[in-house]
Every structure is written in C-alpha cells, then in structure tokens.
Structure 1
C-alpha cells in the first residue's frame, strides 16, 4: 500500500522540484526524497532519515519528506520520535494531514496508548468525515486490538462512502475467510478485484485466496458473527466441500481456476436469496444479481484474470480486452447508481441517502437526502477528495443549488458564503482567503453581477470597488493601494472605462488625469511626481499610443526628455537632460521609430563624450572624445560587426566588445573610472545576456560576483564574494526567480543567514546568525509574509512571536524582554509607523512606511538617545536635506538630495564643532576641490575631483594661499602635502584610484601624527590609529579588508582608556565598556551582531 500511495503523490509534487530534472546544479528535493524511500525499502532507516532531513523547511516538498521520515522512524520502532515528528508535520496543515494523523494514531497504538490513538483518529475523522484512509486505518487499529465490532463498522463505513476502496473490501474478505464465512468473503473479494484488478498486490492476494479455497487451510477465527441468521450457511458448506472444484462443475468462462469456480458458486447461490437484509445482501448482492442477469460473468472472470501473468490467461485477456473495457464502464455506471442511492449504512429500513462520488465512483463527493423519486432534496454536504467538507447547502429535485451555501477551504476556513436560486447565483456572495481575510464581496441577480462588488488584497484591505448592472461595471471603479489609499477613480460605461480617470500615488498625491474611451487612453495627459511637480506631458491617439509632443521632467521641475511620437514610435530629434538641466544625450529617429543619424552623449558638465552614427537602427560608426574634445577612438561597421572600444575623457578604458549591427554579441568588458576591470558580460547572437555575468572588485580585480544568464534571464547558481575571497552569499535562480536555499556568510566565513525561496518569495524559516555562526533570530515566512519570529541567546530560544495574521504588527523582544521592534504592516508590506529599539529600551530608528516604501520623516538615534541622522523619504527615495549628528549632540554634516542623489556643497564638523572636510557633489559624485582640515581646523590638503574621479591635488603656499595644481594621472601617484609652515600635512599613495598598502598619514601643523590608516586593495587593513594634538592615542582599531575585527579602544586626552568595544567580521559583537577619566567603569553594554542587547 505504501508503494502504491507514493506513486499517487508524484502528480502533486510542487513545480520547484519538477523543473530541475535536467539541471545538475539544482538540488532536487524529489530525487532526494525518493533516494530516501529506496533506502527505507532496503530497511536502511537511519540512512533514509538522513536523506529526508536534507529537505529544507521552506521547500514545498518538506511535508512530504517529513511524512516519509515519520514512516522510517516507525519502521525503526522509534515510536516516540515518530509521534513527535508526525505532530510537527500535522501542525504544518499541509496536504499530508491525513497521513500525519494516521502516523500519530499508529505510533500511539504501538506505544500501548490505545485510547489516545483512538482519540487522534476520532478528532481527525470529525474534520475529515469522508476520509476512507482514516476510517480504514482506525479499523485496522481496532482489529489489531481485537475490537472487531468497531473495526468492521469502520470498514463498512469506508466502502459506503467509496465503493472502490479496495483495501476495505479486502480486509472484510480476509476477516470473513478467517471465520469460515467463505461466501461473504468472496462477495467482498469480488469488489476488491473490481476496484484493483491490476495493482502490485493483486496477484499475491489472488494466489492467497486461490490456494485457501482449493485446499484445506486452517484459519484462526475471530470473535465476530458475520452470519447470525445463517443466510450463507448452505453456500459456505458447498464451498468448503470443494463442490465447485469437481470436473462436473462448469462455468461459462475459460478462466476457470479454483478461485473463480468457487466465486461462481458463491455468486450463483447468493443471487437466489430473496428478502435478505444483512449487510452483504444489502451492499453486495444487487451488483452480483445484475451481473448474472446481464450474463456478464465471463468478462467479469476475465477482468479478475488481468493480473495473472501466465501466457494462457494473458492470451484470454488480450483477446477479450474490448469486452473487459465494456464491463469496466458497466461496473462504474452500476456502482455509481446503486451505491449513490441506498439506505443509510445499508441497514434495512434506514432512511435513504443520496451519494455522489468523485470521478463517478471514487470517494464521496456529496451526501444528502433524496425525495420519493430518488432525486436530491434539501440539505447536502459536499466533500474534497481528502474527505473534509468542501461546502454545505440545499439542492432541489433537479440537483440545482438553492438558498444559502457555505464553502470551505481545505484548511477548514470559510471560502465562500453565497445564495442560489435554482442553480443560479442570486443575492449576496462573500469569498474569503485561506487566512480568513475577505477576498471578493459581491451581489448577484440571476447569475449576473448586479450591485456593489469589492475585491480585497490577501491581507484583507480593499483592492477594487465596483458597481455592476446586468453583469457589467457601471458608475465608477475605485482602485486602492495596499495601505488603503485610493489609487484610481475610473468612470465606467458599457462595461469599460470611459471618461476622465484620476490616478494617485501611494501617499494620496495626484499622479495623473487621463481620458479613457473603452478602456483606452486618449488625448493630452499629464503625470505628476508625489511632490506635485510635473513628471510627463504626453498625448495619446485613439489606439492608446503616444502621438504628438512628449516631455518629461525631473522632480525639481527641470526638463528631463523631450521629443515627438507618432503612433507609439519616437520620430525626429530627441534630447535628454540631467537634473541640473545639462544636455546629456541627443538622438534622432526615422518615421518608423528606428534610430538614424547621430546619437551624441555628454557628461554632467556638458562635455561631449561619444557619438554613434545609425542607419535604420544599425550602428555604422562611433567615436569617443578626450578632455580636449579630440577623437581618441573610433571604428566603423565592417561586414555587420563593429569593434567598440570606449574611453573616458581621461583616456581610461570604459567598455569593450563587438556590436552586431544593433546589439552586443560575445564577451564584453566594462571598467571603472581608472580602467580597473569591473565586469565581463556574455551575450548571445540576439544580444541577450547569456552565460556568466562576472563582476570584479576594483581593488584587486578579484571576482566580486558571478550571475548566470540564459537568454536574458537569470538561471542557475550565483555567488558573490568579499574582497578577501570569502563567499558572501550564494543561491540559485530559476527562470528569473530565486529558488531554493540562499546562504549568506560573514567576512570570516561563518554563516550569516539562510533564506529559502519559492518562485522568488521567501518561504519557511529565514535564519540570522551572529559572526561566530550562532543563531541570533529566525523569521518564518509563508510565501513572502512573516508568520512567526523567534529570538535566541547563546543559541537557545528565548522568545517567540506569533504573527500569522497578515495584519498583525511585527513585534519581537530582545532576550532581556525589551521590545526589539514594532512595525505595522499589510501582509508582506510594511505599512504605517515603524520603530526599532535598542536593548536598553531607547528608540534606535523610527519612521513611516507606505506600501513597503519609507516615506516621510525618518530619524535614527544613538543608544544614549541623541539623534544620529534625520531627514525625509518620499516613497523610498531620500529627498531634501538630511542632517547627521555626533553622539554628544554636536552637528556633524548635512546632505542635500536631488533625484535621489547627493547634490551640492557639504561641510563636515568634528565633535567639537570644528570643520574637518568640505566637499561638493554633482548628482552623487564628488566634483571640484575637496578641502581636508585637521582636527584643530587647519587646512591640510586640497584634492581635486572631476565627477568622482581623482585628477590631482593643490599645493598650499607659505602664505596660506592655494598654489600649484599637481596632476594625478589615471588615479596613480604619491602625494605629500605640506602646511604653509613646511611641515607635512598629509601623505598617501594611490594606484588606479585605490589607496595602497603604505599607510595613509595625516599630521597636525606641529608635525605630530594625527592619523595612520593602513590599506590593502583600497580598503582599511591592519591597525588604524588616531592621535590627539598632544601625541596621545585617541582611538585605535583593527580592520581586515575593510571590516573591523578585534578590539577598538578610545582614550581620554590624559591617556586613560575611555571606551572599549569588540568587533568581529565588521559587526560590533561582545562587550562595550565606557570609562571615566580616572579609569572607572561608568557603563557596560552587550552587542550581538551589531544589535545592542543590554
């Protein structure tokens, strides 16, 4: 049975496991589970369990694996473990609920806890009243405990609700045979062969009964009277006398082996019985009577011979296959009709019940009462194939639904409440998600939507609100974001959007107003940013395509792009500008929308960088320019290919590869501002990403990531690396979505986190580990939504938060009981107020979310309660001014944002309020002179940038004025800057934009060392020290390739220690101690993975 059951499971296995059959890089959970099953079947139970334990809890086949593990534990007689595992499996509420319940009952039974086992089955059958599997397994439990009355009652109930439940027929046959009730045994056995003529066990069962009925066999009788009225005594005596086995006894079939002759005898004697009311007469005899009346015994005997492997019987079967198929169809029709309408329990005089079966005859689909003519009437209950109730309601004599119906999800939650009139929806309809949240509420009139209708998101908030008339939407359609904010108002006419539609951003600000004709956009329209600035001006033609002048703008109101469309195609000259209003691109299109003529690019300062010449979309020539506007590289199309080499204004390579007329092909290389290799990209002949997309660290050109593409889609295993060569994370993409287990690592190689993905959504436990590799906390996801959280300390669970309802706020505590965070949400989206806290109870971060995006004012705090940083977000993008402060409350610096980038002047101050740095940004890039000052405020050095690129530095004259410019070509050179007094102010070495291993030194004007920062591959590496002007060490810490690691110490000016903290792999981890100027401890903190615990 177990093997047969496993075969049925294949059809239900999740796609994540099916699609990977040919991908050797993909962990295949199905293959792993079946490897475990094979080990189980070889009785290697420990090895099987080890295989099942490889399946991650987020895998959609995890419940399957745990069920198989439970079976292996039971076979190994480890019943306590099996019971624990089965209960864990049942708590998953998966499609294996019945199997886990069966395992619970069997394990308890094996442990001698019979009453507990019975209670487990009883409670499950109350949930799955039409489950033949549960009834059968409870029956077997009763029979094993010699509770035959209860066990046989369950077998009878199982075959009542599913005439094709072969195992129950077999058990009845076997029990009756043991008691010497051969006729009843054969009547039950005949149904077994009808239900399962050719399964793996059928031949063995046939041989067992064949030998038992053809030679003297001793059976151990049971304490149950199958035939109290001695109804079958005569036929039993004839069977036991082997009368049918004599040559004189002939049957109308060539399939005349002993069992078949005995069965013929049992049937022919039984069909003579009249007015008998025992179960066998009520249940089985009508079929056999019809069989004999229709003269179908011969094909019946051939059907029962299908599994006999001898040439003789296979020849008979093959010659009569059409007749056998006809019998199968006849059987199905007769059993459906007869067992569909019968007295309840097949008890004479009981009320009639009307059953409908899944697939005609396999499992109860619906049950209710018939009228006098056998037609359905009144209340009916409908069932899933698993046996649980799917819906309840009334039917009329035509079998049509009438009145109120209630339907249920397989988890037992209400799925729909609806009203019918003669099978047609009429009245209120309310549908719900499995979580219990509302899905669709609507009104129907004679099968057509009529009146208000509301669709909801999975978490229960409104999504769309309609009003229908005669099945078509009328009035206005209202569409909402997940936060409840109105997204659109769309007027409806004739079932489509018609009229002026208004659209809004997630924060409620106006997005656009668009005229619709039959759901198609038409006429002039304007779109706006959330800040009210114009975003796009466009005109739509009657087909909904752009047609006419087009203009788009930056959030500051400056023009972004302008040109013209004709029927959805760009035509003529187009220009693009940056957020400062500088021209960055010019291009031309022909009347069909294909690029033609020249396409010219400019940088943020208006300098021309390169030009392409097109002919009917094909690149025929290009050239790029140096800082003086002179051509430094060019090429033209040769036989459909163009060898492209792009250089920046300073001569550094930027991009190299081959264009095939219109697109990239083969291997392309991309470089940073200084010519360091950034990426190698593979393209196929169609210009799609195809192959490994490799990124590199600029510091040492080691690989930073490898992403696999197949036909422009991420597909395969990816890896990312730290600068030190350690893997930072790895996982798998399948056809563009993350699938399976992704693992993150700390820079020291210890595990940082584990995430399991199903179709791009997190599913199952997401574990977070501290830098030592010890578990820190776990978030449990159900297809992208957190349903539970756990906090740990020293590897032990200390707090659990159940947040399975999609509107429940996310709240988790630290081990000391202090709240760690409180975040409002709507399903998978953070929504509304959010706060994070330190373990000392003070706020760490607070702000607002709108549909998962940060919005409004956000503030970040130090553990002492002082503000660290504050500013505004607009739907996930920083806007306006952001201010940073030191822990003592002293102002540190401000940043201004334009189009999401830092832009404009920036001055930084130290904790004493002294200026230490002065920078100008142009759309996120440092540009112009950057001024460095000592901690005492004296100008040390002026470094010169050109849109993020270091191009040189300026000397200081003896009188303090700015002196000569010294170029740093290709970002490479040694710098020794002097104070006006001739003392060294700063010295460092740079190579292709990266600081080198010789320490970066700064000095006070007295000549005293101010700081020393060692580097490796451009990152801090080694011991960094800062000094007071008096020469005392101010602060020191160790770094490993950019990550703090080891002890950080800070000192008072008198040399006494002021602060001591432990770092590991870039995280503050361990004790933090603060001291006064006398060296006394004034505060102690505990950090775990950068989180202040207490």
Structure 2
C-alpha cells in the first residue's frame, strides 16, 4: 500500500491525554515534521492539553504533513476550529467558533489557501463580514457590518488588492468614505477627511457668499483645480458642476443659467468642448457633430443620437410610444460598443451588458451571460417530474467548474468539477439511498490518486490508487460480508505482488498459493512458497475467519510493512521489517481501540522516539532511545497523571532532571542544602552536587522569613528567570540570566509598587532599550545602549516633566541634539554666534560649530528690521524661510530642501500687493506659476514641469488685454496664440 492508504485504512481518531503537547516532541525542518532524533518524516496521531488538563488539539500526520480531520478546542472544552488537512494544507470546509459556541467564521480552503465565499460573525451572532477569495486573495465584493447590524463598509477587490468602489460608514450610519481604489491605492473620492483624484491627495476648497451660502466647492492638488468642482449662483441655484484636470476643464460638465435652464451638457478635454451639447452646438470628438432626433406620431420622443461621418457614434437612446425607455447605449463607427441597457415595454430590464464592436462581450443579454465575449450560462436540467437532474456552469456550451447530478428522488448522485468538459479534481458519488458510493480525484479526465468505493450498506467495497486512469499501488477489495477478497499491489495496471482472489502474484508472475486451515475448515494462513520459503504477501487468520496479520516475505523473512489485528478484528499494531528485523516506526493499539504505543527501531534495536499510553488514554512515557539505551529527553507519568520522570538520559544513565523523586545533574545525584541566619531562620535552600555546586531551583529569604529571591542554577550559575522581593513581600525586580550574566529584559518597581525601570542586557552588558521613571510615575529618561554604551536616541526629563535632553549618543559620546549643557553636532558642542553692524545693531544670530550653521538663524538690516530667517541643516537651508524688505514688510516666504527651493513660494511687492506664486521641485521650476502687476492685476499664469514651461499659459498686458493664450510642451510653444504668432503642434502658422 502507499503510505497514505496504509494510514487512512487504520487511523482512528486519537483522543489522548497528557500534561504536555505531543507536538512538542516533534520538530519541523523545511516544512516537514519529524520526531526528535529521527530522520524519517513523522506519521501518527498527535494531541495536546491545556495546563488544566482540558484537551486543546487533536489530529494526525502522514509523512511529516498534517492529514485528515483536525480539531482545536477552547479552554472550556468548546470546539474553536475544525477542518481537514491534505498533504499539510488545509482543504475543504473549515469553521471557527467563539468560546461560547457562537460561529465566528466559515469557509473553504483549497491547497492551503482560502477559497470562495467566507463568512464571519461578531461574538453576539450578528454578521461581521462576507468576502470571496481566489487563490487565497480577496476578490470581488466584500461587505462588513458593525455588531449592531448597521453597514460598516462595502469594498471591492481584484486578486488581493482593493480595486473599485470603497464605501464606509460609522456606527451611527453616517457615510465617512465614498471613493475608488485602483490597484490597491486610493484613487478618487473621499476617505474620511482625505480627498483623492487620480491617485493624488488633495485639499478641499470651499468658498461662501457673504450670506453664508456656498459659492464654490472642489479639490485642489498642488494648487490646481482637480476633479469635480461645483459653483452656485447667489440665489442658491447651481451654476455648473464638472471635472478639472491640472486646472483645466476635462471630463463631464453640466451648466445652467440663473433661471435653471441647462446650457451645457457635455465633455471637455484639455479645456476644449469634446462631446455633447455646448449652448447652441453639439460636439463629438472635438468637432461639431450632427444630432439625430426622431419622434413618435403622438409627439413623444422616439430616438436621440449622433451621426459622425454618417455613422452612429456616441450615446444613443430610444423610447417606447408610452414614454418608457427602450434602450440606452453607445455606438462607435456605426457599431454597438460599450455599455448597453435595454428594457421591455413593461419596464423589465432584458439587457445589462457591454458590447465590443457589435459583439456581446460582458454582462447579461436576455437569459445568457457573457464573459470576455464567451457565453456563460448557469445550466439546470429537470426530470419530467420537475425535480432537478443536473446543475452547473456552461461557457460556450462547455462544462466549467462545479457540477452536480441528482436522482429523481432528490438524492445527490455525484458531484465534482469540470475543466473544459473534462472531469478534474475531487468527485464524490452516492447510491440512490444516499449512502456513499465512491470518492476520488480526476486529473485530465482520468482517475488519479486514492479512490474509495462502498457497498450500499456503508461497508467498504474497495480502496486503492490510480495513476492517470490505471491502477497503481496497493489495492484491497472486500466481500459484502467484510472478507478480504483481493490484497494486491498493482504496477502500472499489472497485478504485481499479492493475492487476487485465489491467485497469487509475485513481481507480476502468477505463483502457486499455499493455504493451511484450522480443523473447522477456516483458513489459517495463505501465501506463496518458493523453494520451501515464504515469499510475497502472506496473511494469517484467527479460527473465526478474521485476519490476524498480513505482510510481505522475502526469501522466508518478513520484509516491509506488516499489519496485525486482535481476534475481534480491531487493529493491534503496524510496523515494518527489514529481512526479518524490525525497522522504523511501529504503532500499537489496545483491544479497546485506544492508542498503546509508538516505537522506532533501527536494525532491530530501540532507536528514536518511544511513546507508551495507559489504556485510559493517559500518557505513560515519552522519550528517546539510541542503540537500545535510553538517550535524550524522557518524561514518565503515573496512571493518575503525576510526573515520575522529567529529565534526560545519557547512554542509559540518568543525567539531568528528576527521576522518580531524585534529581541528577551531569549524571550526579543531587542533595538538598539549606543555609541559616544567626537567628536560625532559613537564609537559602536548594539542591547541590559535589558538596557545594548549586543546581536546580533555589530560594533565598530575608531574615524576617519573607522571600527575597528565587530562580534556577545550572552548575552554580544563575540561569533563566529570577524574581526578587522587598521585605514587605512586594515585587522588587524580575529578569533573566544566561550563564550567570544578566540577559534580556529586566523590570523593576519601587517599594510602593510604582514602576521603577525597564532595562535590557546582553551577556551582562547594557544593550537595548532603557527606561527609568520617577517614583511619582513620570518618565525620567529613555534611550538605548549598545555594548554597555549609550547609542542612538536619548530623551530625559526633570521632575517637573520638562524635557532637558533630546539628542543622540554615539559610543556614549553626546553626538547631536539638545543636552543639558548645550547643543551638539557630530560630537562637538555648538556655540551661539552673533554678529553686529558698526552701529551696534544685530546683524545675524544662530548656532555655529566651526563654520557650519545649525538650526534657526536670523539676519537683520542695519536699521534693526529683520531681513531673513530660517533653519539650517548642516550648513544647508532646510525648511521654511522668510525674507523682509528693509521697511519691515514681508517680501518672500517658501521652503528649502537640502539648500534647494522646494514646494510653493510666495512673494509680495513693497506696497504689500501680491508679487508672485511659484512652485519648485528640488530647485527646478515645477508646478503652477502666477505673477501679478503691483496694482494687483494678474500678469501671467501657467505651469512648469522639470524646469520647462508645460501646459496652458496666459499672459495679460498692464491694461488687462490677453496677449498670450497658448500651451507649451517641454518648453516649446505648442498650440495657441503667442506674442510672435499662432502655433499648432509646435509649428508656427503662417496666416
């Protein structure tokens, strides 16, 4: 048999009981689980318990991978999670519950990944979320609810990334987000207080009339109108609503006059009418088009559309004579192209889909659905009686995905998946009674892997493996009474080794079989003899006809996997031989079915992990052998669960730990030791070896008798967690030792119970985060050590809570930042620099180290008025800078980054009037630029891109006449009217 079949044939649900988790006796390497000390992937059952004794986990492994049903439980005994594994991966239906038994989540796994629809619930039983997965990633619509039942969010995903509509509500039902994601990024709309357009984050701009009514609303990105904008008349009527892109009209626009009459309903592109109605003209693709309108005889509008070059183009609509709409859709060059919706006269929708060059492409068209031009149909077939016969999906008349078939009485006959009309994946079948008939997998329409068949009375009929539709591997067949009829190995469809009815085979060759019988005529054993030696498959029986053992012989010696049963028919043990000698893992069961033992052999000797259970399912012992001697970790328990042995053996000798009440260290038996104060109260107590070497747990006491400290010793050195107490009994500190040196986190408390410190050590040296508190709970300092020296960020406060240190150390040297004795930069203390004019007024002031300027600097004119102010970062301007005229009026304001202008800069004339608004990126002109005359009239406006004019530019003369209205492209005059003439696509036009 293949290993999986062997295991599934004999596996029982293991309900063990142990104070330790059996999985702790396993180790995982490269995603394969092994027993400690073994090189063979682990096969067997596992279990675990909480400290309380309550079961925590039940499951099994095959060849180092989780297999079959696994059950996880809460501490109160309620199931917390349940489902099946296959080859180490979760598969099929999985469910999860809260501690009170309320369902938490339910869904399906495929190859270890969540798949299909998953549902989640709050712990009060109300729905929390519904979401669909494809290959472990979110896909399609996800809905979320608060525990009060109100909507929380509505999100669309595309293979793991948010993509599409995103809506969110607060618990009171108020919408707080309404936007669009694109490839996982916020793309458009608002998300809380943040607004996005085409992936760029903007700021909301709102302007009001003096009456308080809203006048303008929209989003600015880099100072330019972007996305939807709206404006209202003073009477409250809307004036327009439309989209901008980088400050230009671009997209859908609707405008009204003050009386509410629509004057524009169309699309702009780059500030030009592109499509739709613009006052008295209709545009299509930027040119004035011919509008077509047809009416019914009763005067009701019938058809509206556009012709371009005598071909239908753009949006078309038609209405029935009663005024109800018949269709609404788009044409391109005379062909249906894009979104279409169509209705019956009664108003029922019959088409909601998309055309592509007159071809049905996506969506619903009558009773048919299309995906990328392929017809997708949910197929259903009925019996004459009306009951369902078959259901599934057809794509262009080809079976795809899950299909199910039923008997006429409503019982499921079989179900599984198709790929392009070929069976693929797991299929299950049932008899008309509802009993299981078969289960197995197909690959490309052929049986593959383990298949199991049953009689109609639920007894197993046969079980074995296929390879591409051909029997290959172990096969067993039983009679309706449960007798074994066939027990044979197939090799690529050929009967290879074993018994097939009354015929025996050995490596594909038919051999003469031997049967011996009991006096009552029942077969005692059966197999093949060759040269008077047993070969091939042999099976022995009890005198009641039930199997006793079965396995293979090679030249008269047991070889390979052997199975044994009690006379009752229940399994007794299973294991392997190598030329008559036990080899590898052996498993045993009590006659009650409870697990008995798990043993491993190497060349007949005990080797690797050994486990023994009592018949009451309590663990008796678990440990390791090497060459027939106990070696490594061992644990033994009494029938009542008490610990008898918890230690390690070395070559058969007790080495470290507790062995039936006695403690050993390095093979030496320990003795109890106590020290006393002069008043005869106990000072300390614990275990020693060799007269004075402390080992194991030790406790120290104050003279008053209260506990002072406790922890573990290994060979006279502190190891692991140690705890300390004040005389009052309150905790003083807790921390860890490694080889007698402080290592890891240490916590301390004042005698009042208030937190004192948090420190970290490595090999006895200060290393990592350190925090110290005053006894009133206020923080005193926080910083990091490296190799016993201060390193990195440090902050300190005085008792009043004022920050006195905010800087960094390097190798315990004050490196940069503010310290109690001054400002530091790269380990040197900075000095305050001041310069003066000859008249005594301040000229400049700031921090200086050598010739390097740091932090805030200010400069003054000789009349005392401030001239310039801003910050330096290592002698380079960084952050906001301001300049003033000598009169004291503001001159310029903007940002530097690494000594280069960056972001928006503003300037004013000496009379306070605006001068310019400019944008920079790393020192280059980039973004919007606006210049005003000193009378407040605008001089020019436009944009730069990477230092060159790019996009629409306007310029006005001093008398307000427009003298430039054109666009630049990469610094070149491109389209429009310039001072030297008209340009089109970069070429000057001769008019």
TM over 0.5: no
Higher relative contact order (CA 8 A, sep 6+): 1
Structure (1 or 2) with the larger CA radius of gyration: 2
Which is strand-richer, 1 or 2?
2
TM range (shorter): under 0.3
Q: Higher helix share goes to which structure? A: 1
Q: Name the TM-score, length of structure 1 as normaliser.
A: 0.21
Tell me the TM-score normalised to structure 2 length: 0.22
